[in-house]
Structure 1
Amino acid sequence: MITDIDTVLFDLDGTLLPLNQDRFALGYFELFSRQSALLGYDAQVMGRGLQAGLRAMMANDGAMTNKERFDSVFASVTGYDAQEMNERFLPFYEGMFETLVEHAAPTPLARTIVDGLASGGYRLVLATNPVFPKVGTLTRMRWAGLFEEDFVCVTTYEEFSYTKPHPGYYRQVVDRLGLDPARCLMVGNDVVEDMVALELGMKTYLVTDCLINPHNTPLSSFRHGSLEAFATEILS
């Protein structure tokens, strides 16, 4: 166990849930388009709205939640009522969305790590990029064998006003939970989105199984290793 931290923040996709993110994203857009057509929407218009909404969330400045930002841009681009669309799409995340698990490779290590840290008295945060509705996040957590009650906070687009890699995202987590960044450990697989937590004074661990390193940053800059290596280190 690590003695100088009291809170561990985990990314989900590619970290606790090994995932081919490119295939997952492509599959998600395809299913979203298919569901749009089934609901009587123009699938191409919906696709443009989804892409524009995602870009808007990634550029969010904290003035409103990511959901509010998405809904505003989506409605402007598509002409559709965002609230109505959200309500009609809820069953999608409990049905068709489930098929995307084929792009994941769940590992029992996720459950082992979470249970081990919880028994050690650490606070756990699921610090997944908050661009999905809560229902979509809980579904992906379930693929990993994890549940909302395992964490003191799960970041979703309904409640958060920044996205990774904006430092404001991590600041919002810290402020909401009253955390001391110096006593936090951020664990993730994305050099850009997750290691930026260092800027707030957090410690970090880069999980390399599904590594995302767009700028080919030397890994020697970070504590790093496989999820199995992390489990061995932190639970010993």
Structure 2
Amino acid sequence: MIRAVLFDLDDTLLRLNLTAFIARYVAGASRLLASVARTTPVALGVPYVRAFLAMDAQDREDSLTNEQLFNKTMLEACGIPLDDPVIADLMTYYEERIVPGFSSGVVAARPVPGAREAIEAVHDAGLICALATNPTFSLACDRARMGWAGVDEKDFALVSTYSNSTRCKPSTRYYQEFANQLGVRLEECLMVGNDAVRDIVRDGCGLRTAYVGHGRPRGAVWRGPMERLARELPDLVARLDEQDA
């Protein structure tokens, strides 16, 4: 029985140029950190890439949160302690006050049609609604992108961030940890996402995916645009519940 619907964020609820957003985020953060570390912003480009790749690695064996691993990798690569209170406060200011202004221009952030209605359909059905975005950013960055999508943190029982996750998609461990925090089993979750690789888990863990991307992945239990999912969600959940029964 489906008890929870998990939404991806980027290009699921929010349409944006994600590569441009990451580039703009890293450029701004590098300028701030370079002023503290007395180095050049260019010198921080490679450390940032290493840190993002370290979090995303699917063969990880550590038990660190993504944030802890990110900070550790940055410290080893450039000597900047991101968990130092002064630097942490600086980054918090950047992410809360500056990053929300990155939606325009080449980032081109705007809500996906039907996203708001799909979330409301989940709540109307009495199901748990959660945001299972790939956890490579802080909650502040997730909040900024949620705002661009026309949704709010209050819409979700849980939002995945690099602080509360130890793996990234499509690792089953990421999804299992997320479900555990929600208090449900993976087979009781319906994932809504646009990425045929990251949002569809293929190892038999029981997670099912409604696919709102442009491909036709075999592993999805439903395919189509978000606007149609918003209308058909009750019937989809009823069908999945009947199959489970």
Show CA shifts across 1:131-165 (max 9, x none). 10111111111111222221111001111111111
Q: Which residue of 2 aligns with 1:77?
A: 77
State the TM-score, normalizing by the size of structure 1. 0.86
Taking every aligned residue pair, what percent have the same amino acid on both sides? Answer: 32
Q: Which residue of 1 aligns with 2:242?
A: none
Structure 1 residues 9, 197: CA separation in 2 closer, same or farther (over 3 Å shift)?
farther
The correspondence for 2:53, drawn from 51, 55, 58, is 55
Bigger shift: 117-126 or 105-114?
105-114
Return 5+ residue gaps in structure 2 as ranges.
236-245
State the TM-score, normalizing by the size of structure 2. 0.83
Deviation of residue 20 (structure 1)? 2.0
Distance in 1, Cα, partners of 2:98 & 2:191: 31
Deviation of residue 201 (structure 1)? 0.7
Show CA shifts across 1:198-220 (max 9, x none). 73212211112xx5x7xxxx535
* Residue pairs, 1:99-118, within 5 angstroms: 99-102=101-104, 103=107, 104-107=109-112, 109-118=114-123
Distance in 2, Cα, partners of 1:91 & 1:189: 31
* Residue pairs, 1:22-33, within 5 angstroms: 22-33=19-30
Bigger shift: 117-126 or 33-42?
33-42
Deviation of residue 18 (structure 1)? 1.4
Q: Which residue of 2 aligns with 1:224?
A: 223
Q: Which residue of 2 aligns with 1:96?
A: 98
Bigger shift: 34-43 or 47-56?
34-43
Return 5+ residue gaps in structure 1 as ranges.
none
Deviation of residue 17 (structure 1)? 0.8
Structure 1 residues 50, 224: CA separation in 2 closer, same or farther (over 3 Å shift)?
same
Distance in 2, Cα, partners of 1:105 & 1:206: 19
Per the alignment, in what secondary structure is the counterpart of residue 170 of structure 2? coil
1:153 and 2:158 aligned: yes
Deviation of residue 56 (structure 1)? 1.3
Structure 1 residues 46, 150: CA separation in 2 closer, same or farther (over 3 Å shift)?
same
Distance in 2, Cα, partners of 1:176 & 1:221: 25
1:206 and 2:211 aligned: yes
Show CA shifts across 1:65-117 (max 9, x none). 11111111111111112213332111111233123212212246222221221
